[in-house]
Each structure stands twice: as structure tokens, then as C-alpha cells.
Structure 1
């Protein structure tokens, strides 16, 4: 973060006001002059590395959130929105975007919100998209809900005291405390349903098609709905969704969050991550969970004073459609963008089931990432007659990936695959994989030449 200019006046001003401090008082705490703090808050000066350290020490927060809090997600995110064909005739260059963010951050943020609310950047997305609304709310929380984590950790401790077998302890708690028994039913009886709560029979009914990790998660989700109902309801209603469907989706996300926090309690899971180098196979075996559940849990480690690595996650199908994504505090562009690059090996994971593909990639803005991709199958897909499959992609900036087990033996500074954010948003020339010209760029057609790329286009 310290290698580039970070303009973050608005979040620093909000931080000062929440603390009830004047500029002079905050400047004294940070060891800087009030005039310098004034310039920083007005976006006339970037935030230095020294100031970042002082802010973290005095106010106990994650400095990475300042980068994520840049108006509209920062210059790169604003440029992605301006790549929409409706702005093609304006030819707004990088310098203009930087000047706009510095001079009028509020205006840039307003533009970004209006563009996103109208479904810009994702063709075919309706103005009211409950899935997108929930995704924005989860991103706003950085996918860390401290109260839920603390409650889940306490429940996990109680269950461990009750029995060594967590699955059995959860079933017993449902029976004794909530009067619910567990029943495993044949696939044809549940007729396509994987989990059903039958209040008349006081049963939690699970399909026999679910494997053991999936059954554990299903039981933990039911415990979440019963024992964390107040906290989940407060978070879902506090989001202020206009759409009741979005509120229900948020409740589902929070219940699954709580369930994974019970199966992988925060402190124990973080210690295991740090001790193993975030070895995904080892974590899966140690906690008895599925690969996808471990991947999701990695994105939630945001506890103040005990943070994990800023892992981002995306889940796609064979057509490249994203069914879940979390860009995290780094705002990972390859996750946040509507499109994806076929040169990213996440698309190859389907052809190598059970194998984690490790790849160094470099985006157009020069940032480099280490990515891990693996194919996963729904626990009951084959049993229900559908050979469904998804690929999970995890990404981390290479400068933070040195301690990963997956990075052992890799030269993180070595060659990286140049990828874009989908052909319509990518300006890399001479890419033989290009399937469409970039939006807003004039096509160049020369009958006397044939280049490696199917489309040649005008530059800046």
C-alpha cells in the first residue's frame, strides 16, 4: 500500500469524527501538524506509510480498509465503470480520473453508487438485485461479524466439553435444548430437498445424499437459526434492505457464517492457518469440513488484533458465471469485476478435479496476485441426477503470499501470467485469446495484415 499514493481523506475524517476529536487533537495524537491533517482530509495530500502506522496504533483498526474505502473503490474501479460503452465518446483518461478523485471524492462516490444501482457494468442486472445488495452489505462488513464469531466460539467450546464428536454433540444439543431429533431420509423421500425442518414431527430431516461434512454444516446451520436468531435478525434488519428477498438471503448468509464459525472456531482456526501456512488440504482434514467451507472461512478472519491474510474468493460455473464472490479488503479486481479472463487457471480447474492449481497473475494495473483454484461439486449433485460443478478461486497479493504452503518453492517475483478483467474491459493488445474488442475503443481493420489477436483497436 505504501508503494502507491493513497488518497483517503473521507475515511480519516469519519474516523476522527467518530472519535469526537478536533483536527488539532487528532494531529497531536498522530504526531503530525494540524495543517498536514487538514490537507490529508481534503485529499490534497496522500496518506504516508508513517501516518498509516500511527493511525493503526492509535485507533486499532486495519489500515487496509482505507484503500478499500476510496471513493467508488478507487481509480481502477472508476475506470472500469467508465469503460462502459455509454461513455465511449468522452475518452476520459487516467489523469482525469485521478484529478476527479482528488478534487471531488464525494462526486466520484455518488457517480459510482448511481452507476452500480442502475446495474451498470453487469449487463442484464436489474435495478433491484437482491443478490448484489447482499454482496455489497457483506463487502461493507468485510465479511467479518464479530458478535456472531464470539457467540459461535462460545457454543463450540460448550459442544467440545459435551462430547469429543462435534457432530454428535450438535445433534444432542438440538435434541435436549430444542426438542429436535435428526433423521436421515432416502433421496426419493425428500424428492430433491437436501434439508427440511419438520416442526410437526419435531425433526431436522437430511438427505442421505449429503456427505459427512455437508451434514455437519446442515446441523450447524439449524443451531445458528435457533441460538443466534437475535443477532442474525439484528444484522439482517440493520442492513436496511428495501427488498425482503435480500433480507432473507442475508439471513441465510449469516446462518452459514455462524455454522462455519462453530465448525472452525476463530482462534483455533487462525492458529491452524498460521501454523500450516494456510494449507487448505490440511485445514480440511483437521476440521472435518469441505474444501469450499474452508475457503469461505478464510475470508472471514477480520478480528481486530487477530487478523488473518486478506484472502478473496470467487465461485464460478463452467460458463464463467459467478455464483459467489468476495473481493475483501484488497478489493481484488479479478473478483470484483463482472467479467473474467480465460487465461486465469480457475477455468482449467474443472478438467483437474481434486487438484489445486497455483498461478501467479499480473493485472493491467501492474498488481500481482497468487491464485489458488480448485473444482468442487455440490454434495448431492450426482445423487440428484445433475452433474453440477463449480470452481473456487482464492487470491492474495503476492507480497503477502510468501508464508503460504502453496508458495513454497515458487519464485513469487518470477514471471506471471498477464490477465485482464474480461475482454470487454481489457486493453491488452495482441492477446490471441481475445474474444471481443474492448468497450469504448475504435476497431482497426487492416486487410493487408492479420495479427495474433482477432481484434485490433486504437490505443489511448
Structure 2
């Protein structure tokens, strides 16, 4: 049976085999960690000098990473088959690809296109529902159209209007038309930004999330033993995505906490303890004498696991995404997440294997805990903060909990936690 891995998957496997961090490999070949992440998940084509540079650093021939077009076609067909409930002769995939390579390429291409469109629907729905800039732009356009319509109605329904007033109304219509043209052009430009994260950042939290995602929640400058908070100022100065003081303040708070975690749990001893503890965060917390939330953050910084932090209102304040587990950029997430269960059980860890909706039904092990943040004063009410680690798993021992991203884009019809109908319709 031919190897079914794609080029990006081969790069990722080779990198992991050498113990290289994604951020380190990206820096050595001159690209961003986010772009390398897209390559490793087969979302960006690769060739030419970049492929040669990656092969040289990974100590393999470029052909070992790029060869296997037939295998890639078979892999694409199998991925497409995995997205449907059944009725597909998976055992005859190679035969079909060999006899009908053109049709096979079409099927695989359409399956990838469907997956891309589903992600696009999620992103656009999230923006339409919660993006304040988009809502303000639409309101501006509608208000201008209404003003033009009212002025036009006066001119059309009044036969003996004074010439001076007529000239004034016409001037108002011209000004409103210019305003409409400007607003519409701005709205089109904003929508044309598509899924580019830099163009879609609309809040300080969003800016900080872009910084976290670009770094993979691993800040090498803060991992050195003798580093001080001066390195935090350097990181903030280099972070172009932090566009205002609010974003910089949030990022500074995040980095100060990251530095404290790195000092309490240095990378090399933590990795060794992680292997010895079998990945048990409770044992690690006891061994290092820190809170469980700090261990979850540290595990996320030193692995490819995802991380979500929310405050007592349920608002997500920090997110490190992981492939297959969609995180909403605005508004509330799925209330069934262990993250929110932990808010109702302070200081008590919550561990649960969850299944995200979709034809593939990806599984993740989530570990969450809610702990109080330091009080601002002695008479201030306690403020809870929940932290959740998200680790991909291959199988669940027992029944996995079906969750989603948010109600608006969740296709699960039967759900006691649903707040509003889904725009995708019931499918699972």
C-alpha cells in the first residue's frame, strides 16, 4: 500500500522526529510559524527554494518530501470518503485512482473545496454576528440610503417647491450620494480582506490573539534562565499587530504571566517531568508547586496543543488555536465546553473527551480548571478565570461529548444548550 501522507504531513513528521519546534524551523528557513503551520496541514503548496531549504534543515532529499503525486491523490480520495457516513468502497480507492485519475482529482478537489467553504461560512457568520466594524458600516450605508430616499420623495411629490429649497435638496442628495459611495467602497474593501487575520482584527483582544497565534504561544526570548521583563518590552515593540495601548496592555499582562510560568517551570525540566508524569497535569502541578492553570498554560506553550482562557462572564480572553477545534473570535462559545463546566466547579479539574461536529468528527481531550484571580482589594468580589487545554486524540475510551463552536454555526439539532438556530441547518 502506498504512503498516503502529503508533503506538509511529511515535513511535520520529519520535524517531530528530530524534536524541532515549529517556531524554530520556521525561523531557520525564513518564514513565519503561522505559514509553516499552514504548510504542515497541507493548506499551502510548497516547492522551489523553500522546499530545498526545509529539506536541507530536515536532512533529507527534497524528493523525499515532495514525491508521491499518486499517493497524494489516494489520500485525497480517502479524506473525501471520511467526510461521509458510509456507502463508499474505501478498499477500492487505489483502483479507482488508477483507472480514473482525472475523476479522482476532481473528487478530491471538490472535497477540499467543500471543507474550505465550511470554514469560510463559520468565519463570515462569526463576523456578521459580532463584528462591530461591520455592523457600523452596514448601519452607515442603510442610513445614507434612507436619507437619499427621503429627499428624493420630497422632490418627486412636491410640484411647487421653492427653487432655493429645490437647490438645497439637490445639494443634500449629492452630498449623501458621495457619502454613500465612500461608505460602500469602505465596506467592500473591508469584506475583500477575506480571512486575513491582520485585516480582520477589530479589538484589543483580537490583536493579542493574532500575536499569540503568530508565535504559537511560545516566546523563545522569555525561555532563557536570566531573562528579565526588559525582554517583554522588546517583544511588544516588535509586535506590529498590537495597534493601540489597550492591546499592548493586554499583551504585556499575558507575557508577564508567561514569564512567571517559564521561571517556575523551565523548559528542559518541565519536558522531562511531563514525560515522567505521563502527561498528567495534576501530578505536574504538585511536582512544581504551581497551580493547575499554570501547568495547562505551560503544556500549551511547549506543545502543539490548543489553549483557551475565559473570565467569569464566559468571554474568551486568550486563545491558541489547534487544527480541527474552531474557536470563535467574537461572542460566546459552546456552553458545553469543559471550560464553562469548570466555572461552575471552582478549583475542581474537569477532564472530558469531546467531539467537534462535522463528517470527520474529530476528537479532543480537554482539561479545564477555574481558579480565582488575585483580588484588587480586600473587599473586592472574587473573579474566576477558567483555563482549558485542548489535545487532539485518536479515540475516546467511552462516549465522547458532542460539542460545537457556537450555536449559530453548530449543526447539532438535538442539544439542550442551544441558544439560537443554526444557519447551517441540522446535519448531525
Q: Are the counterparts in 1 of residues 55 and 62 from structure 2 also a CA contact under 8 Å?
A: no
Q: Are the counterparts in 2 of residues 370 and 397 from structure 1 also a CA contact under 8 Å?
A: yes
Q: CA deviation at 1:299?
A: 1.3
Specify every segment of 5 or more residues in structure 1 that has no aligned partner in the other structure, as ranges. 50-69, 88-107, 120-126, 156-222, 302-307, 400-410, 442-456
TM alignment of 1:11-22, pairs within 5 A: 12-13=46-47, 16=50, 19=53
Q: CA deviation at 1:357?
A: 1.4
C-alpha change, 1:14 and 1:352, in structure 2 (3 Å) is farther
Aligned partner of 1:340 among 329, 333, 338:
333
Alignment partner, residue 8 of structure 1: 42
Computed over aligned residues only, the root mean square deviation of the Cα atoms, in angstroms, reads 4.4
Q: Distance in 1 between matches of 2:264 and 2:65?
A: 46
Alignment partner, residue 119 of structure 2: 77
TM alignment of 1:272-287, pairs within 5 A: 272-287=273-288
C-alpha change, 1:76 and 1:297, in structure 2 (3 Å) is farther
Q: Distance in 2 between matches of 1:296 and 1:237?
A: 23
Secondary structure, aligned partner of 2:195: helix
Q: CA deviation at 1:47?
A: 12
Indicate yes or no: 2:188 matched with 1:134.
Answer: no
Q: Are the counterparts in 1 of residues 204 and 242 from structure 2 also a CA contact under 8 Å?
A: no
Indicate yes or no: 2:228 matched with 1:224.
Answer: yes
Q: Are the counterparts in 1 of residues 51 and 62 from structure 2 also a CA contact under 8 Å?
A: no
Q: Distance in 1 between matches of 2:49 and 2:77?
A: 14
Q: Are the counterparts in 1 of residues 354 and 366 from structure 2 also a CA contact under 8 Å?
A: yes
TM alignment of 1:335-414, pairs within 5 A: 338-365=331-358, 366-380=361-375, 383-399=378-394, 412-414=396-398
Highest RCO, 1 vs 2 (Cα 8 Å, sep ≥ 6): 1
Alignment partner, residue 211 of structure 1: none
Alignment partner, residue 289 of structure 1: 290
Alignment partner, residue 147 of structure 2: none
Q: Are the counterparts in 2 of residues 237 and 247 from structure 1 also a CA contact under 8 Å?
A: no
Q: Are the counterparts in 2 of residues 314 and 394 from structure 1 also a CA contact under 8 Å?
A: yes
Choose 1 or 2 for highest CA Rg: 2
What TM-score, normalized to structure 2?
0.57
CA distances 1:20-54 after superposition (whole Å, capped 9, x unpaired): 999xxx995333677959x98xx9996999xxxxx
Q: Distance in 1 between matches of 2:321 and 2:410?
A: 19
C-alpha change, 1:147 and 1:432, in structure 2 (3 Å) is closer
Q: Distance in 2 between matches of 1:241 and 1:83?
A: 23
Q: Distance in 2 between matches of 1:287 and 1:265?
A: 10
Q: Are the counterparts in 1 of residues 349 and 369 from structure 2 also a CA contact under 8 Å?
A: yes
Alignment partner, residue 195 of structure 2: 112
Q: Are the counterparts in 1 of residues 355 and 403 from structure 2 also a CA contact under 8 Å?
A: yes
C-alpha change, 1:249 and 1:82, in structure 2 (3 Å) is closer
Secondary structure, aligned partner of 1:358: strand
Specify every segment of 5 or more residues in structure 2 that has no aligned partner in the other structure, as ranges. 10-39, 80-111, 130-190
Q: Give the number of the structure whose residues are more often helix, by fraction.
A: 2
CA distances 1:187-224 after superposition (whole Å, capped 9, x unpaired): xxxxxxxxxxxxxxxxxxxxxxxxxxxxxxxxxxxx72
Secondary structure, aligned partner of 2:390: strand
Q: Distance in 2 between matches of 1:147 and 1:14?
A: 31
